Amino acid sequence: MTLDFRPHTQIRARTDLIGAERSPVLVIDNFTAEPAALVEHAAALAPFPPARDTFYPGLRAPAPMPFVQAVHAYMEPALRAVFGLAGHDVLSGGWDFSLATWPPATLTLRQRMPHIDSTHPGNLALLLYLSPVDQGGAGFYRHRSTGYETVSEARFDRYEAALKAEVARFGEPQGYICGDTPIFERIADYDAVFNRLLVYRSRNLHAASLAAGFPGNPDPRSGRLTLNLFLHYRPAASRAA
């Protein structure tokens, strides 16, 4: 099956500035014209293999390249405007269908806390929700002791040292995080609305908002299906160098 992206006739977009750091989150509802076709494409790929070398607690399969390329072309002007990327080029990216399936008892310590995907300000995450019902959206967090809502390269060592000390003090969190903890404060939360796209910087502290009894369904038609697209922007001058 070949899929091409077309925007929905009732597409709606807004930009939220979250937390004390006023980080942009681009929220687009009614994103793609044929979300059901994406779900069926994903179902044809099942069963998905386990995700590897990632924080993601579940399964992943490749998203259709024509769709990804068309989304990127359509989103380019908005991404450059919202995230201040004028004069930057896209150097690389990644794209997958994802299904969260791990039960809370099997999570690693890092999967029980908010995380970042990169410290670089030019790395963006695009997350399209394709589940027929809300099975947990995305939360964004502030690290209480440092006040960090984003973790840059300059902040990384201090953040890691503080986090290690706090885990030793408070103990490991149990299960998926889904709100405030002694270490983190949730500063924004977004529902997993069908056909909603979220875009944010990968260095924002974030986590899937999965409840304690999350069932972890591996069926793309009824599980927590998302399409994840990661774009890595760098200044054009750095490419020329």
Q: What is the mean pLDDT of residues 43-50?
A: 96
pLDDT for 175 equals 86
Contact 87, 238 (CB under 8 A): no
Q: What digits encode the pLDDT tens for the residues 143-195?
A: 999 999 999 999 999 999 999 999 999 998 888 899 999 999 999 999 999 99
**Residue ranges of the domains in the chain?**
12-240
Q: What's the chain's average pLDDT?
A: 93
pLDDT for 2 equals 57
134 vs 158, higher pLDDT: 158
- CA-wise closest residue to 79 among 14, 150, 149, 26: 26
User: Which residues touch 187 (CB under 8 Å, ≥6 apart)?
Assistant: 18, 19, 20, 140, 141, 142, 149
**Which residues partner with 61 through β-bridges?**
97
**Which residues partner with 27 through β-bridges?**
14, 198
pLDDT for 238 equals 54
Dist. CA 17–CA 220, nearest whole Å: 32
Least-confidence region, from 46-55, 76-85, 150-159: 46-55
Q: Please state the pTM of the whole predicted model.
A: 0.95
Look up the CATH number of domain 12-240.
2.60.120.620
